[in-house]
Amino acid sequence: MFRLDGKSAVVTGAGSGIGQAIATLFARAGARVGVLDLDEAGAAHTVEAIRKEGGRAEARGCDVGDAVAVAAAFEALTAGLGGLDVLVNCAGIAHVGNVESTGEADLDRIYRVNVKGVFLCSQAAVGTMLRKGSGVILNMASIASLIGVADRFAYSMSKGAVLTMTMSIAIDYMKRIRCNCICPTRIHTPFVDQFLAKSYPGREQEMLRKLSEYQPMGRMGTAEEVAAMALYLCSDEASFITGQAFPIDGGVLVV
């Protein structure tokens, strides 16, 4: 169960964190994986790790907000991987601030990656999938797509758009392409550690504890836990699921 043997998958933002965990797990499940990331060194590192385990992967540096770069990357990866069966839109950036403190440049930066990036990559993938007659798109939304999160105005807006893009793709291509999204709460990745070191020097452990306590279960999730859900949703075992949002939230929505 939960195998991707013979399938080709592209994972954006796979140079680190959740995207890296998804790409690695997909390769272990038998997929040929295209690793897409703005950080070319990070993408190469992910591919190296996959190949060391005997998997097949190719890296490609790409700014997901650049239409020309996205088209070129998907053309190259589709040719190198022998097609495209699965796309995971995981590339994303964060911003802290409310409607007053969010500047126009902040909003544009978030929108360009988190919304336009998902749009461009999905658009690039759909044509190939339709020619084959089937495909799966999985988007990384957020718990902020479903509830209000303080001081995450621009980020929440962008992830709300990801949620509705998921539903739109699902309804438009109902019998040919499945599309779902995952809505994680705080996930402990290197990005979180870097953010805390930059924003709260000397208070990293205090703030890490506060971030962990936000989840009723008392901890943040792991990238591997999100990857496990992603594998299920992209596998044939989830063939009757589309247009849905799957929280992985440590109990946030329960209380």
Strands (E) located in the chain: 8-12, 32-37, 56-61, 86-89, 135-140, 177-184, 187-188, 221-222, 245-248
Q: Which helix (H) or strand (E) holds 17?
A: helix 17-28
Hunting for tokens 């997909």 — which residue is that? 26
The CA–CA distances, whole Å, from 74 to 5, 127, 217, 225 equal: 21, 11, 39, 27
CB 140 within 8 A of CB 88: yes
Say how many CA atoms lie within 13 Å of 180 toward its Cβ: 21
111 catalytic? Reply is no
Q: How far apart are CA 19 and CA 28, in angstroms?
A: 14
Whether 245 and 141 have beta carbons less than 8 Å apart is answered as yes
Which of 111, 155, 173, 200 is an active site residue?
155
Q: Which of 211, 88, 190 shows the shortest CA–CA distance to 143?
A: 211
Catalytic residues: 155
